[in-house]
């Protein structure tokens, strides 16, 4: 079975540009999560969706960040305008409902803002 698929794997762009990260969750999973990982802050939950509906976006750092899930098989995380401090690895994860269900992670997008 295909796992969580993220694109692109790497993104290098200049400050001020719009960045769009994409995620395809595992088919049939009810939940989708966006995380950011940095050396300083570790793994941070940015936002999560249940059945395409955003449930908690309290981790989104500021208005420059937005996330959508237009259907069960696709989600985007957008940063506009991007800043050097947004440089990080961004992970998408999905899971089934259930307390014992693990989150399955994509390979991540390594984002560098110059």
Binding positions for another protein, rule: CB under 8 A: 31, 42-43, 45, 48, 50, 55-56, 58, 89, 91, 93, 95, 97, 99-100, 102-108, 110
What the block records as the tokens of 28 is 């049939």
The number of C-alpha atoms within 13 Å of 1 and in the hemisphere containing its C-beta is 9
The Cα 81–Cα 70 span in angstroms is: 22
**Residue 25 or 108 with smaller CB distance to another protein:** 108
- Beta carbon nearer to another protein, 65 or 91: 91
Closest contact distance (angstroms) between CB of 75 and another protein is 15
């Amino acid at each position: 079975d295909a796992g969580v698929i993220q694109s692109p794997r790497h993104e290098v762009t200049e400050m001020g540009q719009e960045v769009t990260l994409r995620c395809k969750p595992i088919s049939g999973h009810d939940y989708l999560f966006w995380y950011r990982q940095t050396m300083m802050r570790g793994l941070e939950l940015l936002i999560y969706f249940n059945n395409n509906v955003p449930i908690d976006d309290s981790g989104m750092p500021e208005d420059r960040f937005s996330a959508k899930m237009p259907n069960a098989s696709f989600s985007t995380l957008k940063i506009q305008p991007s800043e050097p401090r947004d440089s990080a690895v961004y992970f998408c994860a999905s899971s089934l409902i259930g307390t014992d269900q693990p989150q399955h992670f994509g390979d991540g997008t390594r984002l560098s803002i110059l």
